[in-house]
Amino acid sequence: MTYQTILYKETGSIADVILNRPEKRNALNDVMMKEIIAVFSEISTNKSMRVVVLSGAGSNFCSGMDLDYLQKISKYDLEQNKADSQNFKNMLLAIYGCSKPVIAKVSGYALAGGCGIATCCDMIIADETAKFGYPEVKIGFIPAIVMPFLLKRISETHAKELMLTGRIINSEEAVRMSLINTLAAANELDSGVHELCEVFKNNSANSIASTKEMLRKISGVNYEYALEFASELNANTRMTEDFIRGIENFINKRKNK
């Protein structure tokens, strides 16, 4: 399949998914979200693939929503925002629910929805250039749909620190918060990911898939319900004056840089 916003390649039993909008710091738009859903759905049922590596082209992982896309959704009505929130939720679920182990290989920015994408992966390996954060509150938005996934990875205390302040943290802080699994030097990132791929390839594919399924189902919180609630909240937040004004200010600042 040919994609507009991602690159996909197979090396043996390793599937590489590369977010491919480097000129936009691999920012998300509706096309990229749909393509991520499609490729992860395909990988999940592909018996020849044993592990997925998700990364970004160029020097960044994913900087969040594209500016043009943000401007577009700020003019959506409620029903359009609900549909778009569902699309974002489905993208995160496609990654989180993939039957194969998914490794996020992170350099540069992993912010907002981009940080959410990394959080949905089973493992995150980052180098010293990586920056993580949820700056949505600074523009009148909320990191609603990513929140259930973040709370599966880190404590509520750390989640509050990230989400209420909008602070951007480096990879060393991310390790201390347990947001990422491994910090590697930039020149060792590829080798670290390769070593982890070999570990997963040597384990039972069926056991990995079953373990992932159990982890999803035995959680104390019904994450489907949480995500439905989050999607509603996300869509309603997009209708507020703070969000619309915040988007306009954010876009103007970026355009004037």
Interatomic CA distance for residues 91 and 127, integer angstroms: 25
Say which of 10, 23, 136, 172 is annotated catalytic: 136
CA distances to 66, 235, 240 from 77, rounded to whole Å, are 19, 9, 11
| Inter-axis angle of helices 78-96 and 223-237, nearest 10 | 140
Pick from 52, 38, 40: nearest CA to 4: 38
Asked if residue 148 lies in contact with residue 230, where contact means CB atoms within 8 angstroms, the answer is yes
Phi/psi at 131 (5° precision): -130, 130
Interatomic CA distance for residues 54 and 7, integer angstroms: 10
User: In the annotation, is 198 catalytic?
Assistant: no
Asked if residue 81 lies in contact with residue 73, where contact means CB atoms within 8 angstroms, the answer is yes
For 98, other C-beta atoms within 10 Å of its C-beta total: 24
Asked if residue 178 lies in contact with residue 124, where contact means CB atoms within 8 angstroms, the answer is no
Residues noted as catalytic: 136
